Structure 1
Amino acid sequence: MEGACVLEVDVNGEEKFFVDKNVLSRFSGRLSKLFGKTSVTGTSKTLKVIFHGLPGGPDAFELMTKFCYNNGSIQITPINTLLLHFIAHFMEMTHDLIMQTEKSLECIPYWTWCETLIAFQQCQEFFQASNSSGVLDKIIDSLVRRIVTASDTSPLSSSPDSSALRLSFDTRSTLSMRNSNHPSSWFEDLLILNSDTIEKFINCMVSRKVDHSTISRFLFYYLKHRNLNAPTDEKRKTTEIIIGLFYSLDTDSFSFKSLFGILRMSSSLDLSKCCRSRLESMVGSQIDEATLDSLLVSAADQGMQCLYDVNLVLRFLKYFLQSSVQICVKRLKKVGSLMDLYITEVAPDPKLKPSKFVALITALPDSSRESHDAMYRAIDMYLQVHSGLAQEEKMKICCAINYEKLSSESCKHLAGNSKFPSRTGIQALISQHSKLKNLLQVQDTNYLRKFRNSTHKEQQLNDTENEQVILYAKRVDISMEDDKLKAHLEGMQWKAMELEKICSKIQNQMTRIMKIKLCSPNGGLRSLPKLCS
C-alpha cells in the first residue's frame, strides 16, 4: 500500500500482529499520541510496539483491527461486547465504539444464560479491567437474578439428596438449561467460578435473598468438584475461601455431617489457624447431630500419644456451649448422652491423661444428664486401667459424679468398689440413705393428701345431703373410719420399719468395709481385673 507504515504489535507476549500504523492511529488515541511524538527516521518504515496487560488479549486486539480496517464499523454481539469494551477504553478508541459497547452492556438482562456465562468467563480472564469498570458486578447480578427467578418458579428441595438436586447435576438438564433464558439448574455451570469471583458471587446471592440452604448446597458441590484433581496449594486456598463463606451463612443451612466431611478432608491441608477455628466452631455448634463414630478421630495425625483426639472434642463442646445464650434442654441432653458413649469409649486408653479425662467428664453442665450411671462406669474403667493414680487425682475425677443421680445398684457397687477412694463410698451410702428417707416422706405425704382428699369429698357429700345425714345419723358407724385410719397407720409403720432395716444393713456394710481398709496392710484393695479389649 502506497505510504503505508507497517507496525508490529506484540500483544501480551502471546501473539504478534502486523498492521498499518496510520489506519489504527486514526481510531486509537493511544497510538496517535504515541506516534505523534515519534519521528520515523531511516529507510525502514517498520515500527514495533509491545503491549503488556492488554485487556482482552489477542482476541480483543484482532476485533479492534477489524473495526479500524472496516472504517469504524463492526457488529457488536453479547459474545464480543466485553472484549471490545475493554480494548476501546485501553486503546482510547473513538467515542463511537465506546458508546456502542456501553449500549450493548445495558442489554445484559436480555442476554441468554449461555451468552451471560461466556461474558462472565471473559470477566474472570481479565479480572482487573472488568472489576474496575463495574462490568463484572453487572454480569454477576444478571446471573444471580436468573437463579432467583428459576428458584421461585421451580424451587429445589431442601434435601441435599433430593431428586431435584440430582437432576441439577445431570448433563442433559444442563444442556437444555443453556438453551433457555431462565435456568432451572446452575450448579455445574458455575464451577467456572474462580477464587477471585466466588466471594463476589456468593455475597450477591446473599444480598438477593437467595435461600441459604441452596447456597450451602452449591458450596459443598463446588468444593468437592474444584478440589477433585487440584494441587495442594489450590485446594487450601479454595477450602479457606469456602469455609469463610459458610461462616457468613445461617448455621441451620448446613448439616454437621457435611461440615465434618470438610474438616476431615482439610486435615492434611494445613489451613490457617483462624480458618480452622471457624470450621470447628461451626461443627461444634451442631455436635448434637454427631454420632460416636464421627467423634472418634485418630490422634496420630496430631502427633499425640493417646488413641483419639480428645482436644478436638473438647473444642467442639466449648463451641457448642458458646453457640447460644440459652441452649435447648433437649439438645443439651442429647449431647450428654453422646458424651457418655464417648467417655466410655476413650476411658480404657492407657495414654489418656487424668487432666484430659477430667476435662471430658466435666465439660457439660449437670443438667445435661438425667443419670450418672454411665459416667460412673466410665470412671470405673479409667481407674481400672490407671491403677497407679494418687488419691488426689482419683478424687478430682470422682468429684464429677453427682451421687444423687446414681441408681441404687450403682451406689451399692460404688460402696464396695476398692478402685475408688473410701470417701466416695461414704458419699454414695449417704446419698442412698437420703433417697430412702425422702421416699418414706413422699409416701407419708401422698397418703395424708389422699386421706384429706377423701375426707373433703365426704364432707362435700354430707353438706349436699344434710337432711339425709340428720335422718340416718343414728345408723352411721363412725368406728369404721377409725378402723380404716388405724389400718393405714399400721401399714406406714411397717414400711418405716422395713426402710430402717435396709439403712441399718447399709451402715453395717460400710462399717465392715472401713474396718477391712484400716486393718489390711494393703488397705483392703483387691486385685484388679484385666482390661477388656
Structure 2
Amino acid sequence: MYEGSQRVTIPNAKMRVARIVDSYLTEVSRDRNLSLTKFQVLAEALPESARTCDDGLYRAIDSYLKAHPTLSEHERKRLCRVMDCQKLSIDACMHAAQNERLPLRVVVQVLFSEQVKISNAIANNSLKEAGESHYQPMVSNRKTLLEGTPQSFQEGWAAAKKDINTLKFELEAVKTKYLELQNEMESLQRQFDKMAKPKPTSAWTSGWKKLSKLTKMTGLEANDIGSQVPNAEQTRKTPRRWRNSIS
C-alpha cells in the first residue's frame, strides 16, 4: 500500500515542480538581459518525464521571444528545442500555429502534432463504436501515421507537403526580388550622392577667378583716383581768388 501511494505521489510532485519552474521561466523571460543559454539551462533542468504538458513551457518561450525580438532564426530554433510539440494542448497548438514569432519549422511540427492528435481521436472513436475492446492508439510519429491512417489523410498530408514546398519556392523568389530591389536602391543612392556633391574646382579655374577679381578691383581703384584729380578744363573755369591785401 505504501509503495503504491509513493508511486502516485512522486509523479504528482514532479508535475508540481515543473509547474513552478515553468511559472518562474515565464517571469524571468521578460528580462532582456537573460541570455538564451541560461534560459535553456533552466528549462532543461527537469527531466522530460516531469512535464506531461508543455503549455507552461510554451508560454515562457513565447514571452522570451516577445522580450528578445532581435533573435536570429538559428537562436529561435535553439530556443524551441526545449519544447515538445506533441505535449501541447489543442488550444496551445492553435495559438502556436498562428504565432509569427515561432520559426516556420516549429509551426509545421505543431500542425503535424495537432493532426496526429485529431487522427488518434477519430481512430479511437471508430474502434470504440465498432465494439472492439482492445485497441491501441496510433503512435505520434510520421511513419506510423502515414501507414495507419486512411488514404484521404495521406492525400491531405501529401497536398500539405506540396503547398509547403510551393510556399518555400515563392519565399525564395520574394527574397531574390528583394535583394535585386535593394541593389538597385543602393545604386540609385550612390548616383544621387555623386550628383549632390559639389564639383571640385581645378587650379586653372580658381586662378582665373582670382585674376578676374583682381582686375575688377584695380579698375575700381583707378576710377576712384581719377574722380579725385581735377582735369585741365575744370582748372581753367575755376577763377582765381586774389587776396586783397590791406596796406
1:353: Cα distance to partner? Answer: 0.5
Which residue pairs with 1:362 in the alignment?
A: 44
Distance 1:356 1:336, change over 3 A: same
Which residue pairs with 2:123 in the alignment?
A: 441
Alpha-carbon distance between aligned partners in 1 of 2:154 and 2:121, rounded to the nearest angstrom: 12
Which residue pairs with 1:381 in the alignment?
A: 63
Alpha-carbon distance between aligned partners in 1 of 2:52 and 2:60, rounded to the nearest angstrom: 16
SS, match of residue 439 in structure 1: helix
Identity across the alignment (%): 27
Which residue pairs with 1:395 in the alignment?
A: 77
Alpha-carbon distance between aligned partners in 1 of 2:131 and 2:160, rounded to the nearest angstrom: 31
Distance 1:339 1:350, change over 3 A: same
Decide which structure has greater helix share. 2
Distance 1:432 1:389, change over 3 A: same
Q: Which has the higher Rg, Structure 1 or Structure 2? A: 2
Which residue pairs with 2:17 in the alignment?
A: 335
SS, match of residue 357 in structure 1: helix
SS, match of residue 41 in structure 2: helix
Distance 1:407 1:516, change over 3 A: farther
TM-score (normalised: structure 2): 0.52
Question: 1:506-517 residue pairs with structure 2 within 5 A?
Answer: 514=168, 517=171
Distance 1:516 1:361, change over 3 A: farther
Alpha-carbon distance between aligned partners in 1 of 2:55 and 2:171, rounded to the nearest angstrom: 25
Alpha-carbon distance between aligned partners in 2 of 1:386 and 1:333, rounded to the nearest angstrom: 28
1:343: Cα distance to partner? Answer: 0.8
Alpha-carbon distance between aligned partners in 1 of 2:13 and 2:84, rounded to the nearest angstrom: 21
Question: 1:135-284 residue pairs with structure 2 within 5 A?
Answer: none
Is the Cα contact below 8 Å between 1:361 and 1:400 reproduced in 2?
Answer: yes
Amino acid at match of 1:385: A
**What are the superposed Cα offsets for residues 183-226 of structure 1, whole Å, 9 maximum, x if unpaired?**
xxxxxxxxxxxxxxxxxxxxxxxxxxxxxxxxxxxxxxxxxxxx
1:517: Cα distance to partner? Answer: 4.1
Query: What are structure 2's unaligned runs of at least 5 residues?
Result: 1-8, 135-149, 177-247
Alpha-carbon distance between aligned partners in 1 of 2:151 and 2:49, rounded to the nearest angstrom: 35
Alpha-carbon distance between aligned partners in 2 of 1:505 and 1:373, rounded to the nearest angstrom: 29
1:344: Cα distance to partner? Answer: 0.8
1:392: Cα distance to partner? Answer: 2.6
Distance 1:348 1:408, change over 3 A: same
Is the Cα contact below 8 Å between 1:403 and 1:431 reproduced in 2?
Answer: yes
- Higher-RCO chain (CA-CA 8 Å, sequence separation at least 6): 2
SS, match of residue 66 in structure 2: helix
TM-score (normalised: structure 1): 0.25
Structure 1's consecutive aligned runs of 4 or more residues displaced over 3 angstroms after TM superposition are 496-522
Tell me the matched-pair count.
153
1:431: Cα distance to partner? Answer: 1.2
Question: 1:269-308 residue pairs with structure 2 within 5 A?
Answer: none
1:376: Cα distance to partner? Answer: 1.1
Alpha-carbon distance between aligned partners in 2 of 1:371 and 1:347, rounded to the nearest angstrom: 19
1:513: Cα distance to partner? Answer: 5.8
Which residue pairs with 2:95 in the alignment?
A: 413
Alpha-carbon distance between aligned partners in 2 of 1:391 and 1:380, rounded to the nearest angstrom: 14
Which residue pairs with 2:105 in the alignment?
A: 423
1:342: Cα distance to partner? Answer: 0.7
Which residue pairs with 1:372 in the alignment?
A: 54
Alpha-carbon distance between aligned partners in 1 of 2:111 and 2:163, rounded to the nearest angstrom: 10
Distance 1:363 1:520, change over 3 A: farther
Amino acid at match of 1:356: K
Which residue pairs with 1:353 in the alignment?
A: 35
1:332: Cα distance to partner? Answer: 0.8
Amino acid at match of 2:110: A
1:328: Cα distance to partner? Answer: 1.3
Alpha-carbon distance between aligned partners in 2 of 1:451 and 1:364, rounded to the nearest angstrom: 37
Distance 1:436 1:406, change over 3 A: same
Alpha-carbon distance between aligned partners in 2 of 1:380 and 1:513, rounded to the nearest angstrom: 24
Which residue pairs with 2:181 in the alignment?
A: none
1:516: Cα distance to partner? Answer: 6.1
